[in-house]
Structure formats: structure tokens, C-alpha cells
């Protein structure tokens, strides 16, 4: 009855399900759930995530005990130190200026800075192996896209540290950049006065303008080289210098990996993602004065760590974001601290969450459902009339080889193993900045060591357990379903199977389909980048996905009337739309197979007027119920890869023959498209 009540409260039965199933399934939910002040949206995902966050914060507040492992107790101490505002205010900006001093001080705060104090390459390497950050380019190591049995080094474009609209296409006179200038200048004056750096206001203004001009140029280089399909090119390290001049790449990588006692051979091959970016970067660096580069690198480190400092610095950041967004509500300190600890200690937190709030039956049920979804996908492939036999065989092999990760890695439930994984973490009650500094460095160095490890597909988790999401990872050909999502409304132990298949079942199908979408189709069953399609079948695939693109391009958002975002972007969202449509079709086929094996299900008490099949579609729509502000909606349409929630309901259901059949939708109804798009 509880499940029926939740579904009924979400619905608006005055709406016609064949005209607007979004309103029919979510109308009641949308009236009941108001967007919290300062937030851009409220959703089923967000509410579930909020419940998990509440659990984590409550256990953080508990006293440390010998019953819990050392890493779990470390998380409590890190959280409390993060919440100790008095201690943080007392330290002020000293924790960061001490680090900045080790890199030769921030030039724009100093009256006597000289170039011999700073080597940008050495500073960049040190920041990478301490904080895991890259401001000019990113260095990482993970599974080799060309040989997934081993790991390799990747060189990639960096994060810009700011929303792209602040930098892209702007100059020093534009409003966002003027706000950015005010922000940096305020931070610079604060630091100068605190350390007695002596730089005068005129010089600071000139330095800040040069820094921002460089940041804009770097952004332009990145945007020019950003392609829809990333290029993964292998180079021997010794050849990189010949191609990307001015940078001793062997020395640079040696400096980074020396932190993990790993030697780097100049004959090694590494993967360069978007080589054109590095070529343009080298040109930009060559024409930029060392002082500007030094100012930029110091600033980017400050920008990453500004909320770890005192309130004076945090207020400057809030004022900047308030200016560029129009309304910026910083999240409560307790939420921010919780997320900071979770980012570093997610498996320790996951161990506590699994122990206290996760039902082991969910793992058993998920294994069965994943098997059924794989079988459903395979049957749809076999029945397809657009794929030739060679491509079908390759697709079936890839689906069968797909590795699943459910709930949590088993090793986190072993206290000894968990403590070994975090053995380098040391925390103190009143040292927030130092706690994160030392923990971050330990985790970064631990990750660097994986470069020389053979890939262990049994334990290579890409997500922490207490997360409300699901993932497909091409390099591993794996699907991951963390413990956080395995609860209502997505999954419920012992409830009508139609509800589980309509919710978490579609999520499973969605992730499986990502292995065969516009990007996933480029890698094979081992995760290797390889074309396994015949040209004839590939041409048909492109035509089918174009149908999806065109369908979503035609959707409009009346509340964005008068903006460039009134129309959906079917190209940007094509991968997720293909996965939504495929996931729904596969999950319904899997549910039909379940019924064939187990018999027709009884109707849900309290909702007897709906068949189990209709409940399947209601359950599917229910997980996408949400409300969103126009500003948040516009941002999603412009920059997001997911369609707005209403179209994640309307789009796939209007392509579903089974939906129209079970709700008896007339041929001319909005939810029964005459030209249905099907990829998988």
C-alpha cells in the first residue's frame, strides 16, 4: 500500500496519459515538491541523494569508536575539522600562502618578484603529484584504451576552473570578465596585505588583466581543439619533445611519478588526447611572459582551494559567482564539508553506509535483473533487421562480456583491507587544510602507483557506494550500480516486479545501451578502441541515431520562449537519448520474459485499475519527476548531455509500441508517434 500511495500521490489522473504522460505520471509530484530556495531544481534523484547525505552527516556527528575502522573515524575527524570555523578563521590564509611560497610566491602580490624564483614546469609537476590538478594540461594514468590489460599515461586538456560562458568569446570589457577581474583583484589585495608583499595597486591591476587575457587565450585554444569524438594518439615520450617543442616531457613525467617511486622510460608510449591542443598550448606558452604564466598557475591553485580558507576569501568567491549567475546560493557548510570528505574517503564512507543502510538482497536481485536485461538486449539484436550477421555476433559478444559492479566492492567490508587502503591518512581535530592536504597527497600518490599494476577487473570500481547514479565505462566495458541507487523509487525489495523493471531495470538497460551508443559503439568487448562494424551496418546505425537526433531537436520548452534554448539540442543529447530509448525497450522485454517464466503478476493493492504493464511505465516515469527553474533548465539545454526530465519520459514512451498498446493510445495521439525511432 505504501508503494501504491507514493505512485498515486505523484500522478495527476485528470491528465490524458495518451496526450501528456509526463503530467499524468508526475503532475501531483510537481505540485507537492517545490524547488528549495537557492536551488535550481528538485527531483527524485535529488531527494534520494539528500537522504543519503543526511545519513552520512549524522554518522559524522557520532563519536569515534573502536568498533569502527580507523578510516571511518578519520572521516569523522576530517568533517569536524572542516566544520570548525573558529580554527579555520584563526589560520586565515596562511595554509595556502605557505604552499604558494614553496612555488616562489604569487608574483602579482610581490614588489620584488623575479623570474628565477619560478619554474612553471617544476611547479606544475609538484601541484600534480600533490593535489592531482593540472592547469595547463592534465596528466593521469588509467586503463590503456588500446590494451585494457594494462594502464598507461594520458595527456589531456585541463579543466578551466570556471564555467565556459565566462571565458568563451569574451574580452576584458565584457561583464563576466569585469566580474572576474574584481574577484581576482580582491583576492590579490587580501593576500598582499596579509603577507606584506608590497605590490602596488596599479601593478596588481595590470597583472590581473594579463592573467585573465592568458586564461581567455587558453580557453580559446581548448575550445578550438575540442572535438565531439576525442582522438587518442600514442606517442613515445622521447618523441614528444620533437612534436610539442619547449617542454621536456620525459623530465616532467619523471618529476610527477617520482612521488610514487616509479621510473619513467623515454621509450614508453603514452596517450595524447587531442594532440592539436598541445601544439597550440606550446605556441601560447612560447609567446607568454614567465610572470604571466606564474601568476596564472598560482591563481588557479588559489581558485581550487579558496573555500578551504577563511570566510573573507569565501565571500569574495561568492560575490563573483553571484554576479555571473544572477543569484548564487552557497550550499550550507555542512553539505560542502560532507562532499569534500566523501570525495577523498568515499570507500570508507561507503563501508559505513553499506553496513548500516544497505540490504544484501539488493545485490542478489540486481544480478538476476542484469542477466535478464542482457538476455533481452541480445534477443533484440538477434531480431534486428538492420544489422548483418558479422556485426550481430560482435554486438552479442560485447554484451555478454560486459562486466557488472553492484552495490559496493567486497573489500570495503573487510576491516583490515579497508585500513590498509587508507593507511597513509592522518587527521587532527583542528587542522582542516592540513587534513585535506595530506589525505589528498596520499590518494594521488596511491593512484600514481597503479600505472605499473595489471588491470584487476574484479575490483576496478569507478564509483563510491553511497552515490545515486549508474555508469557505463567504455575502457572496461563495464556497468556500475552503486548501493545508493538501489532503493526506492528505483528498487524495492519484494515489491511488484513491474515496478523494479520499470525503474532500476530501465537504468540497467540504459547503461548497457551506452556500450552501443554514438560513442560506445567505437570500442569492442575488451574496451579497446576498434571498429567492429561492417560499413553497411554502420551506415544504418547512423541513420537510426539521426532519427533520434531529429526527434529531440523538435521538442520545445515554452518557458524558455525568447531564448536561444527554446529548442532541445538533439545532437548534444543523442547518447543519453539513445540509452533512454534502448533501456526502456530492453527493460520491458526483460519484464515480459520474467512474466513468461514466473506467471502474470497480481495487481498492486490500491492501484487495481492499472495492469502490471501499465505500472511498469508509471514506475519508469516516476523516477524522472522533477521541477526546474527556467535558469537551470536553460543551462541544461545549452550545455547538458541529458534531456530535460519531461522529454526523458515523453521521448522514449512515444517511441514505444508496447506503451501505446497497454494504454490504448489512438494513432493520432501525442504519445503515439506515427514515425517511431528505434536504435536498440
Strand residue runs (E) in 54-199: 138-144, 147-156
Cα 415 to the center of its chain, rounded Å: 29
* Beta bridge partners of residue 67, listed in sequence order: none
Write out pLDDT tens, residues 166-177: 888 778 888 889
For cell 573558529, name the residue. Answer: 86
User: CB under 8 Å to 210, separation ≥6 — which residues?
Assistant: 289, 291, 292, 295
3-state class of 663 per DSSP? Answer: coil
C-alpha cell at 388: 548483418
How far, CA to CA in Å, does 133 sit from each of 163, 435, 439, 444?
17, 18, 14, 10
Task: Find the helix or strand (DSSP H, E) in which 234 lies.
Answer: strand 232-236
pLDDT of residue 171: 83
Q: Is the pLDDT of residue 228 over 50?
A: no
Write out pLDDT tens, residues 344-372: 999 999 999 999 999 999 999 999 999 99
Q: What phi and psi, each to the nearest 5 degrees, are found at residue 151?
A: -100, 165
| Domain ranges across the chain | 2-32+361-400+490-662, 94-309
User: CB under 8 Å to 144, separation ≥6 — which residues?
Assistant: 150, 151, 152, 271
**Which strands form 471-473's sheet, in the order they lie side by side?**
403-407, 478-482, 471-473
For cell 587518442, name the residue. Answer: 232
Q: What phi and psi, each to the nearest 5 degrees, are found at residue 215?
A: -60, -40
Whether the ω angle into residue 312 lies within 30 degrees of 0, i.e. cis, is no
Q: Same CATH topology for 2-32+361-400+490-662 and 94-309?
A: no
Write out pLDDT tens, residues 168-217: 877 888 888 999 999 999 999 999 999 898 999 999 999 999 999 999 99
For cell 619533445, name the residue. Answer: 241
Residue 421's nearest CA partner among 464, 382, 380 is 464
User: Catalytic annotation on 580?
Assistant: yes
Which one from 68, 144, 207, 511 is the annotated catalytic residue? Answer: 511
Q: What is the mean pLDDT of residues 642-659?
A: 96
For cell 562494424, name the residue. Answer: 533
The DSSP output letter for 321 is: H
Query: Could you tell me the fold of the domain covering 94-309?
Result: Neutral endopeptidase; domain 2 (1.10.1380)
Query: Is the separation of the CB atoms in 259 and 132 below 8 Å?
Result: no
What Rg value do the Cα atoms of the chain yield, rounded?
27
**CATH classification (class only), 2-32+361-400+490-662:** alpha beta
Angle at 188 between CA 199 and CA 305, to 5 degrees: 140
Torsion of CA 620, 510, 387, 656, to 10 degrees: 10
pLDDT of residue 551: 96
Q: Is the pLDDT of residue 1 over 90?
A: no
The DSSP output letter for 454 is: P
Pick the residue with more confidence: 529 or 106? Answer: 106
CA 439 – CA 97 distance, rounded (Å): 19
CA 420 – CA 643 distance, rounded (Å): 42
Query: Is the separation of the CB atoms in 567 and 555 below 8 Å?
Result: yes
pLDDT of residue 403: 95
CA 240 – CA 572 distance, rounded (Å): 33
CB environment 473-488: b (16+ within 10 A), e (fewer): bbbbbbbbbbbbbbbb
How far, CA to CA in Å, does 170 sit from each of 157, 166, 178, 215, 525?
20, 7, 10, 11, 44
Query: Is the separation of the CB atoms in 74 and 665 below 8 Å?
Result: no
User: CB under 8 Å to 222, separation ≥6 — which residues?
Assistant: 157, 158, 160, 277
Look at 29-43, 312-326, 357-371 and tell me which has the smallest mean pLDDT: 312-326
Q: What is the mean pLDDT of residues 543-572?
A: 87
Which one from 580, 586, 601, 634 is the annotated catalytic residue? Answer: 580
Pick the residue with more confidence: 598 or 635? Answer: 598
Query: Is the separation of the CB atoms in 594 and 508 below 8 Å?
Result: no
Query: Is the separation of the CB atoms in 349 and 56 below 8 Å?
Result: yes
CA 105 – CA 439 distance, rounded (Å): 24
Helical spans, DSSP H, in 554-629: 574-598, 612-622
Amino acid at each position: 500500500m505504501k508503494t501504491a500511495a507514493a505512485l498515486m500521490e505523484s500522478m495527476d489522473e485528470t491528465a490524458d496519459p495518451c496526450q501528456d504522460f509526463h503530467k499524468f505520471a508526475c503532475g501531483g509530484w510537481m505540485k507537492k515538491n517545490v524547488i528549495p530556495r537557492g536551488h535550481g531544481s528538485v527531483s527524485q534523484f535529488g531527494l534520494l541523494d539528500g537522504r543519503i547525505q543526511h545519513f552520512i552527516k549524522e554518522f559524522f556527528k557520532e563519536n569515534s569508536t573502536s568498533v569502527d575502522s580507523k578510516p571511518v573515524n578519520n572521516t569523522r575527524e576530517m568533517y569536524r575539522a572542516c566544520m570548525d570555523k573558529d580554527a579555520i578563521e584563526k589560520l586565515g590564509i596562511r595554509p595556502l600562502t605557505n604552499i604558494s611560497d614553496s612555488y616562489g610566491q604569487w608574483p602579482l602580490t610581490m614588489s620584488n618578484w623575479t623570474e628565477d624564483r619560478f619554474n612553471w614546469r617544476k611547479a606544475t609537476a609538484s601541484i600534480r603529484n600533490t593535489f592531482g590538478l593540472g592547469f595547463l594540461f592534465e596528466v593521469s594514468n588509467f586503463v590503456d584504451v588500446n590494451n585494457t590489460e594494462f594502464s598507461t599515461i594520458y595527456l589531456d586538456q585541463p579543466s578551466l576552473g570556471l564555467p565556459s560562458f565566462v571565458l568563451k568569446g569574451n574580452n576584458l570589457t565584457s561583464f563576466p570578465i569585469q566580474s572576474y577581474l574584481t574577484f581576482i583583484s580582491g583576492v590579490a589585495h587580501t593576500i598582499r596585505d596579509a603577507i606584506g608583499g608590497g605590490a602596488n595597486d596599479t601593478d596588481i591591476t595590470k597583472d590581473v588583466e594579463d592573467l585573465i587575457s592568458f586564461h581567455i587565450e587558453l580557453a580559446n585554444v581548448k575550445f578550438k581543439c575540442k572535438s565531439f569524438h576525442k582522438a587518442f594518439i600514442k606517442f613515445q615520450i622521447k618523441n614528444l619533445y620533437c612534436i610539442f617543442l619547449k617542454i621536456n616531457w620525459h623530465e616532467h613525467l619523471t618529476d610527477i611519478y617520482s612521488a610514487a617511486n616509479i621510473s619513467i622510460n623515454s621509450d614508453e608510449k603514452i596517450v595524447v588526447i587531442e594532440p592539436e591542443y598541445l601544439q597550440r598550448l606550446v605556441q601560447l606558452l612560447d609567446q607568454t611572459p614567465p610572470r604571466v604564466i606564474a601568476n596564472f598557475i598560482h591563481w588557479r591553485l588559489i581558485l581550487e582551494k579558496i573555500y578551504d580558507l577563511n570566510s573573507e576569501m569565501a565571500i569574495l568567491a561568492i560575490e563573483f559567482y553571484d554576479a555571473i549567475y544572477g543569484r548564487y546560493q552557497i550550499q550550507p557548510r555542512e553539505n560542502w564539508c560532507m562532499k569534500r570528505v566523501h570525495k577523498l574517503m568515499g570507500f570508507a564512507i561507503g563501508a559505513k553506509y553499506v553496513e548500516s543502510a544497505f540490504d544484501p538482497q539488493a545485490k542478489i536481485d540486481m544480478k538476476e535483473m542484469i542477466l535478464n536485461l542482457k538476455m533481452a538486449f541480445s534477443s533484440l539484436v538477434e531480431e534486428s533487421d538492420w544489422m548483418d550477421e558479422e556485426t550481430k555476433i560482435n554486438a552479442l559478444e560485447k554484451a555478454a562480456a560486459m562486466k557488472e559492479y553492484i552495490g559496493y566492492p567486497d573489500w570495503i567490508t573487510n576491516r583490515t583491507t579497508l585500513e590498509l587502503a587508507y593507511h597513509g591518512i592522518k587527521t587532527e581535530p583542528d587542522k582542516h587544510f592540513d587534513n585535506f592536504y595530506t589525505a589528498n597527497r596520499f590518494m594521488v600518490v596511491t593512484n600514481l602507483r597503479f600505472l605499473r599494476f595489471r588491470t584487476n577487473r574484479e575490483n576496478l570500481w569507478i564509483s563510491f557506494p553511497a552515490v545515486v547514479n549508474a555508469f557505463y565505462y567504455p575502457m572496461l566495458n563495464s556497468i556500475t550500480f552503486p548501493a545508493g541507487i538501489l532503493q526506492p523509487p528505483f528498487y524495492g525489495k519484494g515489491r511488484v516486479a513491474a515496478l523494479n523493471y520499470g525503474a532500476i531495470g530501465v537504468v540497467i538497460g540504459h547503461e548497457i545501451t551506452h556500450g552501443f551508443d554514438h560513442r560506445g559503439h567505437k570500442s569492442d568487448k575488451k574496451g579497446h578502441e576498434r571498429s567492429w562494424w561492417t560499413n553497411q551496418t554502420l551506415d544504418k546505425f547512423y541513420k537510426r541515431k539521426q532519427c533520434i537526433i531529429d526527434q529531440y531537436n523538435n521538442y520545445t520548452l515554452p518557458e524558455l520562449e525568447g531564448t536561444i534554448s527554446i529548442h532541445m539540442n538533439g545532437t548534444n543529447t543523442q547518447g543519453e537519448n539513445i540509452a533512454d530509448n534502448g533501456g526502456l525497450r530492453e527493460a520491458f522485454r526483460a519484464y515480459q520474459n520474467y512474466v513468461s517464466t514466473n506467471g502474470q503478476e497480481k495487481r498492486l493493492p490500491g492501484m487495481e485499475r492499472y495492469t502490471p504493464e501499465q505500472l511498469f511505465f508509471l514506475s519508469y516515469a516516476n523516477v524522472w519527476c522533477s521541477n526546474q527553474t527556467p535558469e537551470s533548465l536553460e543551462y541544461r539545454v545549452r550545455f547538458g548531455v541529458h534531456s530535460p526530465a519531461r522529454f526523458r519520459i515523453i521521448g522514449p514512451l512515444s517511441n514505444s509500441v508496447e506503451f501505446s498498446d497497454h494504454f490504448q493510445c489512438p494513432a493520432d495521439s501525442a504519445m503515439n508517434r506515427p514515425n517511431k525511432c528505434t536504435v536498440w
